[in-house]
Structure 1
Amino acid sequence: MYQQIVILTGAGISAESGLRTFRDQDGLWEEHKIEEVATPEGYEKNPQLVEQFYNERWQQFHNGCIEPNAGHDALAKLEREFEGKLLVVTQNIDDLHERAGSKRLLHMHGELSKGRCPRSRQTFLLREPFGPDHTCTCCIPAQRLRPHVVWFGEMPIGLDRIQHALDSCDLFIAIGTSGTVYPAAGFVDTANHHGAQTVDINLMPADRHSQFQYHLQGKASELLPKLVEQILQGKVINDQMLVG
């Protein structure tokens, strides 16, 4: 039985719920230059454009058509029933994990549902799209809130907590992430170094340079429910374990 599990989720798990990804061939970056909508400099130059960009994402999340899929549900079930320690780290800024019921969750790239005070870094829940009237209540004078999203050139959130969890985990699972962007790309090396089993779940075939011990190719919504059941039954992942 595993004692401590760390799970990293990327754009792939949200894509199965109908959310477009940032890096796919038809991804959002093709409609906007990265430096215009995903850097501090772009925000300083044109905050209205950046707010519009994230407001379009906000509207997509709240149009009633986007719901958690079976992969999100499986991870929420694992949290409810797993007797050891569990941390889900997500690179996604949507709230699909929360909607599925996950609570032991860390958004390393921020959350679209929140705004952040640029002075105090305090966050505030947003119940409507960004606008000039969204200001903080922690400063005098009140500061205009910026999207609570980690942009290029900024440090991801919670790295110390993630590192601590990776140092002591015995199972690390990455789901729907390219594994090419640091620091997240280095998580598997840390887990391997400390003797954890490492598993990659992805639509794409395993890269020949992959550091993961096991690779499961397919949809997270199909593979995760089966894998979670096996973990909850106390089974240890091995080459003979049939998943899929």
Structure 2
Amino acid sequence: MVINDYQTAAKIIKDSKFPVAFTGAGISVESGIPPFRGPTGLWSKYDPKILDIDFFMSNPAESWKYIKEIFYDYMGNTQPNDAHKFLAWLEEIGKLKGVITQNIDNLHQKAGSKKVIEFHGTANKMECIDCKRKFYSDSISLETLPPLCPECQGILKPDFVFFGEPIPPKAFEESIRLCENADCLIVVGTTGEIMPASQLPILAKQNGAKIIEINIEPSNYTNSITDIFLNDKATVASNKLKEELKGII
């Protein structure tokens, strides 16, 4: 593994035929979204049970009180940062086939990325637990909780994965396809601790991909599968990489 070799990292991206990005909570921290885990994470302030599917089904109003506070009042007003914009730029110049994100914040799309696989779903939509219809979140009033389906009056649930729920099959299958085909995987802001998402970079490595990791601290990948470790904040590393790429593309 090589540390902070931006020149080589840029060359790997330039020469790759099927580059893919894999992002976690760390890419959105600089947009003001705290991670779930860690000393300053959301779970240090909130009880994780609010996102347990069994608890939600039994106590939807209580769950929704905190869901609204975290994911809609607060997170809904955040904006993409330079790291999100860098990945959108890579896609625009033909140097990114897609972004697989563990995040539910919609910031990749806000930054301009077109091909985004939301491995854990999205807060940008809601699903009725009865009729299964989906609605854009900004079309649903959260004045009264829990919000109800405009069609059947069933309870609405955010369209992201709760504890106890499976990964959406389409997102799972497309993520595997991208990682099996990737010859370069840019890993940004993830610790590599959350299953089954954590297995995706390993799958890419097994299929021959070079792993470029951007993290402020070493992850589970750093000393095992990472080829180049860019030990910087996501925005700093992204801007350095962009400058290197502009000089060789």
Q: Shorter-chain TM-score category? A: 0.7 to 0.9
Could you list the per-position Cα deviations for residues 189-218 of structure 1 after superposition, in whole angstroms to 9, with x for gaps in the alignment? 111111111121101035564322221111
Asked if 2 retains the 8 angstrom alpha-carbon contact of 1:59 and 1:129, the reply is no
What corresponds to 1:39 in structure 2?
52
Q: Aligned pair 1:172/2:185, yes or no?
A: yes
Asked if 1 retains the 8 angstrom alpha-carbon contact of 2:192 and 2:219, the reply is no
Instruction: Please report how far the alpha carbon of residue 129 of structure 1 lies from its aligned counterpart in structure 2 after TM superposition.
Output: 5.5
What corresponds to 1:70 in structure 2?
82
Q: Distance in 2 between matches of 1:51 and 1:129?
A: 12
SS at structure 2 position matched to 1:26: coil
SS at structure 1 position matched to 2:69: helix
More helix by share: 2
Instruction: Please report how far the alpha carbon of residue 152 of structure 1 lies from its aligned counterpart in structure 2 after TM superposition.
Output: 1.6
Instruction: Please report how far the alpha carbon of residue 5 of structure 1 lies from its aligned counterpart in structure 2 after TM superposition.
Output: 1.6
Could you list the runs of 5+ residues in structure 1 that have no partner in the other structure?
A: 236-244
Stretch of structure 1 that moved more, 122-131 or 226-235: 226-235
Within 5 Å, give how 1:53-132 maps onto structure 2.
53-57=66-70, 58-63=72-77, 66-82=78-94, 86-119=97-130, 121-127=132-138, 128=140, 130=142, 131-132=145-146
- CA separation of 1:52 and 1:168: change in aligned 2, threshold 3 A: same
Amino acid at match of 2:100: V
Q: 1:28 aligns with which of 42, 56, 81?
A: 42
Could you list the per-position Cα deviations for residues 172-197 of structure 1 after superposition, in whole angstroms to 9, with x for gaps in the alignment? 11100111111121112111111111
Within 5 Å, give how 1:13-24 maps onto structure 2.
13-24=27-38
RCO higher in structure (CA 8 A, sep ≥6) = 2
Asked if 1 retains the 8 angstrom alpha-carbon contact of 2:64 and 2:146, the reply is no
Within 5 Å, give how 1:128-207 maps onto structure 2.
128=140, 130=142, 131-135=145-149, 137=151, 141-157=152-168, 158-205=171-218
Asked if 2 retains the 8 angstrom alpha-carbon contact of 1:81 and 1:232, the reply is no
Q: Distance in 1 between matches of 2:209 and 2:191?
A: 20
- CA separation of 1:136 and 1:231: change in aligned 2, threshold 3 A: farther
Give the structure-1-normalised TM-score.
Answer: 0.85
Q: Distance in 2 between matches of 1:211 and 1:120?
A: 44
Could you list the per-position Cα deviations for residues 82-102 of structure 1 after superposition, in whole angstroms to 9, with x for gaps in the alignment? 1x6611011111121111111
Q: Distance in 2 between matches of 1:26 and 1:129?
A: 30
Instruction: Please report how far the alpha carbon of residue 167 of structure 1 lies from its aligned counterpart in structure 2 after TM superposition.
Output: 0.9
Could you list the per-position Cα deviations for residues 1-21 of structure 1 after superposition, in whole angstroms to 9, with x for gaps in the alignment? 211122111111111111111
Q: CA RMSD in A?
A: 2.1
Q: Distance in 2 between matches of 1:229 and 1:105?
A: 24
Instruction: Please report how far the alpha carbon of residue 233 of structure 1 lies from its aligned counterpart in structure 2 after TM superposition.
Output: 6.3
Asked if 2 retains the 8 angstrom alpha-carbon contact of 1:93 and 1:110, the reply is yes
Amino acid at match of 2:179: L
